[in-house]
Structure 1
Amino acid sequence: MEEFGRLVILTGGLLAVMPLLLIITLAVAIERLYLLKRILRQGHDIHNRLRQVGYRNIAALQAIADDSSDTLQGHLIATAIASHGEDAEAMEMHLEEEIMTAMPKISRLLWVLDTAVTIAPLLGLFGTIIGMIQAFNVLAVNGGPAKVTGGIADALVSTGAGLLIAIIAVYFVNYFNSLTRSIVHQLELIKLILINRVHGNGTGGVGAQRPVVSRVRSGV
């Protein structure tokens, strides 16, 4: 702890920010991982149930909506049921509105990870520069090259810490972006299934012909 305090002073106090930034990054990553995985898992189960529903079977859709009322996908089903008296195009717009409303919840706090990717290396580099300035001041005053090289080595700890946080954050940013795209694709697919189930004329079997009224987006 004494050594860490010395390094904090050497880097102008910036090294003390690194543990806090790392804790925030990991806390956001754990929260997002839990939420996004849960949304994706719930959507997978609901999607499988919807595939078994027959066309024009509003009662079956209502049963699924009741069982999943606390999920994003359940809200989509409830919206489809509420607008089943309208034409397919109007229903699609209502469902699209519901998906857009859900997007802030899906992408919430991801900006923190984006910020960590950018700011952590910059803070580390700034701390290193401050440390090197102090090390060269030692050289100017005392003429001790050994003290200078030791000071520079200590100052580089700040850069290493910043890069470590950035590496962790960029991994989670890319992974969560992939999860977000999967969730949006899943919501679009459920939207399409709902429109076809409410307005289609097939039998509801897996191999039955289904009227397609909208293309499913493959990404955000």
Structure 2
Amino acid sequence: MSEIIRLIVLSGGLLLIMFLLLVLALAVVIERSYLLKKVLRQGKNIHNKLRQVKYQDISGLQTLANESADTLQGHLIATAIASRGEDAEEMEMHLEEEILSATPKITRLLWVLDTVVTIAPLLGLFGTIIGMIQAFNVISSDGGPSKVTGGIADALISTGAGLFIAIIAVYFVNYFNALTRQIMHQLDLIKLILINRTHGQGVGTNEFAARPARILAGV
């Protein structure tokens, strides 16, 4: 414990700030991981159920909307039902409005990780500079070369800590950006399905409808 306190003092207290940044980043990672995976999982389930709803089957859409009323995708279905009397273009605009309104909730707090990626290495470098200044002050006192080099090595811990935090944060930034893109693609797909189910007439035959699955299966 005394060694940790010494290193914190050597970095001018910046090591403590970086530790708090790490805790904040991990809290965001846990919260975003739970929420984004939940939204993606719910969307996959609703998408599969939507594909089974027949064209012009408003009652089927209403049943699905009631079952998923507490989800983002369920709210999208309810919006589609409410605007089904309009033409497809108007309905698309309403659904697009709902998707754009939900986007800030999906990307919420991701800016924190972006900030950590940027600021953690800078804080580490600043802490190293402070530590090196203190180490070189040994030269003007009674310290020898070994104390100077030892002080520099301790000061470099700040840089290492900053880079470590940034590496963790940048991984999850990319991971959450990938999840966000999947969710937005999923919402766009559900939007198109809703437009087709309410204003379309269907593809005509089961053979044609099954063709995409056969293509993907390599048949």
Bin of the TM-score, shorter chain as denominator length: over 0.9
Deviation at 1:142, TM superposition (A): 2.1
Asked if 1:149 corresponds to 2:179, the answer is no
Q: Could you tell me how far apart the structure 1 residues matched to 2:207 and 2:172 are?
A: 36
Alignment of 1:10-89 (within 5 A): 10-89=10-89
**TM-score normalised per structure 1:** 0.92
Q: Secondary structure at the match of 1:141?
A: coil
* Structure 2 CA distance for partners of 1:200 and 1:75, relative to 1, 3 Å: same
Q: Could you tell me how far apart the structure 1 residues matched to 2:136 and 2:146 are?
A: 11
Residue pair 1:53, 1:61 contacting (<8 A) in 2 also: yes
- Deviations along 1:94-139, one digit per CA (max 9) or x if unpaired, are 0000000000000000000000000000000000000000000111
Alignment length (residue pairs): 209
Q: Could you tell me how far apart the structure 1 residues matched to 2:30 and 2:2 are?
A: 31
Deviation at 1:25, TM superposition (A): 0.6
Q: Could you tell me how far apart the structure 2 residues matched to 1:194 and 1:208 are?
A: 16
Q: Could you tell me how far apart the structure 2 residues matched to 1:109 and 1:69 are?
A: 25
Q: Secondary structure at the match of 1:139?
A: coil
- Deviations along 1:9-59, one digit per CA (max 9) or x if unpaired, are 111111111211111111100110010000000000000000000011000
1:192 corresponds to: 192
Q: Secondary structure at the match of 1:138?
A: coil
Alignment of 1:65-144 (within 5 A): 65-144=65-144
Q: Give the stretch that moved more between structures: 53-62 or 199-208.
A: 199-208
Q: Secondary structure at the match of 1:142?
A: coil
* Structure 2 CA distance for partners of 1:115 and 1:155, relative to 1, 3 Å: same
Paired amino acid for 2:97: E
**What is the root-mean-square deviation of aligned Cα atoms in Å?**
1.4
Q: Could you tell me how far apart the structure 2 residues matched to 1:190 and 1:204 are?
A: 22
Deviation at 1:144, TM superposition (A): 1.3
2:208 corresponds to: 207
Deviation at 1:205, TM superposition (A): 5.2
Structure 2, unmatched stretches of 5+, are 211-219
Q: Could you tell me how far apart the structure 1 residues matched to 2:65 and 2:143 are?
A: 77
1:213 corresponds to: none
Paired amino acid for 2:208: G
Q: Could you tell me how far apart the structure 2 residues matched to 1:204 and 1:2 are?
A: 76
**TM-score normalised per structure 2:** 0.93
Q: Could you tell me how far apart the structure 2 residues matched to 1:101 and 1:205 are?
A: 36
Q: Secondary structure at the match of 1:207?
A: helix
Q: Could you tell me how far apart the structure 2 residues matched to 1:206 and 1:43 are?
A: 26
Q: Could you tell me how far apart the structure 2 residues matched to 1:149 and 1:208 are?
A: 72
Paired amino acid for 1:75: H
